[in-house]
Amino acid sequence: MRLADRMARLGTETAFEVLARARQLESTGRDIVHLEIGEPDFDTPRNVIDAGVRALRTGHTHYGPAAGIPELREAIAEDAGKRRGMALDPECVLVCPGGKPIMFYALLALINEGDEVIYPNPGFPIYESMIRFLGATPVALPLTVEKRFAFGVEDLESLITPRTRMLILNSPHNPTGGVLDADLLEAIADLAVRHDLIVLSDEIYSRLVYEGTHSSIATFPGMLERTILLDGFSKTFAMTGWRLGYGIVPRPLLAPLAKLQINAVSCTASFTQQAGIEALTGDQTAIEKMVAEFRARRDLLVDGLESIPGIRCLRPSGAFYVFPDVKDLGVPSRKLQDLLLEQGGVACLSGTAFGRHGEGFLRFSYANSQENLTKAIERIAGTLKQIPASARSSS
């Protein structure tokens, strides 16, 4: 069957490919430590599950409004606004089956062929994939370890041209765990206003911050009306399988995005939205414990990786990933990814899964138990000791 030409421009997420290979190895009896997938290993909090079950049993099994049920939109506006110190209008909230639709809808609605979109690199691979799919030009904004996986405002300004239409930000950041501070965001906001840029601010890890506080570019003067704020329930509430996310968008953009949602999926599952209300308004104890555990795992993994010759690892401030520098090992990242899986039984991702500026790095997710992280560190150290000199080459 002949595919449309645009399909050749569509990328994917390497994490799912590595997961499939790891599962295949497990089927042969191998023990694999999974540090490749960006999914909390905790169960959804019991009160949220109970709310979803109640919703199913009380008839919340039918179509709902395309933009989301009013009660959830109100709860999102209240919660997201309170956490960011700003007033948000529920009429600007679009509830979606996951966070990715917000990326898809925003780019579809606003980006023409030939437009330029600046995005972080290394970064979540779907950004570049969707930009290319639409026939636009992805412009990589390099994140460097020297700047703690951030960038200077001058680096960003040098990439802006008359064709630049949108800037994508992600803080806390996947894959590095980096967090953009308020001073940098304020400078970026000034640039966005001066150059009339739309900002897609991916804040899906906004509650997973371990030092300092989360800042949103939407809070700066002139930005709420030009920012598409993406957030959701998958990471914070361990609800990846529930498929529940949202965008907070400028009011004129709500109807076009809702129209795209009608064409794509009609609406988000009604019972899932009822669970979302409980997640935001109910007991937060489980979330607080999860964040504390992630912090302890982060420290364990960073300290362990730093003890291995040839690896240097910044201590990330958010999300649940580390992005160690492995250039001193003299082995390309993709080869290291394969060696650690095939020989060491540790599933991780090459930095190049997140763009060309990820060469020389690996990504490990610490969404796994401290026991398994300790096991992984031992296996990584043992595997790297066995790399023959012939396998080492310039990356």
Tell the residue number behind the tokens 């937060």, with chain if given: 284
Residue-wise pLDDT for 19-44, tens only, equals 999 999 999 999 999 999 989 999 99
Encoded amino acid at 193, one letter: V
The whole-chain average pLDDT of the chain stands at 96
Domains of the chain: 5-43+285-383 (3.90.1150.10), 62-281 (3.40.640.10)
Residue 193's Cβ-side half-sphere holds a number of Cα atoms within 13 Å equal to 14
pLDDT at 13: 86
Encoded amino acid at 155, one letter: D
Residue-wise pLDDT for 66-94, tens only, equals 999 999 999 999 999 999 999 999 999 99
pLDDT: is 395 or 301 the higher one? 301
Q: How much is the average pLDDT of 370-383?
A: 98
Confidence band, pLDDT 50/70/90 cuts, at residue 278: very high
pTM given for the model? 0.95
pLDDT at 125 exceeding the cut of 70: yes
pLDDT at 388 exceeding the cut of 70: no
Confidence band, pLDDT 50/70/90 cuts, at residue 395: very low
Q: How much is the average pLDDT of 186-194?
A: 98
pLDDT at 387: 80
Q: How much is the average pLDDT of 95-106?
A: 97
pLDDT: is 264 or 386 the higher one? 264
Q: How much is the average pLDDT of 326-347?
A: 96
Confidence band, pLDDT 50/70/90 cuts, at residue 393: low
pLDDT at 394 exceeding the cut of 50: no
Residue-wise pLDDT for 206-237, tens only, equals 999 998 899 999 999 999 999 999 999 999 99
pLDDT at 391 exceeding the cut of 70: no
